[in-house]
Structure 1
Amino acid sequence: MTEAEFEVWKRRNAESFAAGVGPARGLSPEKAIEFAHTEVAKLLPDGRDTEHHLVWMACAGDEPVGSLWISTKPRIPFIYGLEVDAAHRGKGYGRAIMLAGEEEIRRLGHTHLDLNVFGNNPTAINLYNSLGYTVTSQQMRKQL
């Protein structure tokens, strides 16, 4: 990923995170995007060269189709983001990206991989379930 591609990815990643975290935390769209940009900046202080972070662009041939962000800093590596571009969804790229990430984590000597998924994202939940991920924690909310 070039520096220019990273800047585009960083913006899109924050927008994607804001779309999930905003409703989950009751944030306005403006506050959600502000929160998302702040969190990404904290997690990646050295941009794409931040130690213990893998930020990949997935391509089909020469065409970018998605991305994956994994931190290997915690004892159990953590997926911060998986995205497949809207025009390429439903073609198996999400699964292929996840499997490539899992293989790299295995190669690095790890035996587990964690992630969070917002409850309002059934497509992602189905993908993760089909790949063998299981619920280890669950947060629930009721609007009163």
Structure 2
Amino acid sequence: MERAAASFAAGVGPARGLTEDEALALAYEQTENLLPEGPATDQQLIWIAVGDDGAVGSLWISTKSKVPFIYGIEVDHAHRGKGYGRAIMLAAEEECRRLGHTQLDLNVFGDNTTAIALYDALGYTVISQQMRKDL
């Protein structure tokens, strides 16, 4: 849960103008609400991605809704650019297909251009967009 909260806080803080502490508090609150039983919470898939050197990243998918939602995907900094993000996403898609789902949703912050490029390459399309203007 700590990994998911830290990853969410890193994205939501700048997007919402929160301090690091505020973003982390919000992330922990939302994570605890979504995972009341921790990793054992029903209809939640929480994986640690493992490479030759041990853990390289993580994935959290909720399968509660008709369309599963990726709440978090993270590749550790030392392992980025090595194809792990793509491999994690492909494994997520395969598991969702195995469970009978035909779609998979996720959210990505607009400044995360690396992730956006990966999702584009994997065939994801924008279904909604939130915009902001600094005044």
What is the TM-score of this pair, normalised by structure 2? 0.97
Counterpart of 2:116, as a letter, is: I
Residue matched to 2:11: 20
**Unpaired runs of at least 5, structure 2:** none
Question: RMSD across aligned C-alpha pairs, in angstroms?
Answer: 0.9
1:40 paired to 2:27: no
Match of 2:62 among 56, 61, 71: 71
Identity %: 67
Aligned length: 135
List alignment gaps of at least 5 residues for structure 1. Answer: 1-9
Q: Which residue of 2 aligns with 1:142?
A: 133
- CA drift of 1:133 comes to 0.2
Deviation of 1:49 after TM superposition, in Å, equals 0.5
User: Deviation per CA, 1:44-70, whole angstroms, max 9, x where unpaired?
Assistant: 000110000000001014611111100
Q: Which runs of 4+ in 1 moved over 3 A?
A: none
SS of alignment partner, residue 55 of structure 1: strand
Match of 1:5 in 2: none
Secondary structure class of the residue paired with 1:97: helix
- Give the AA of the match of 1:18: A
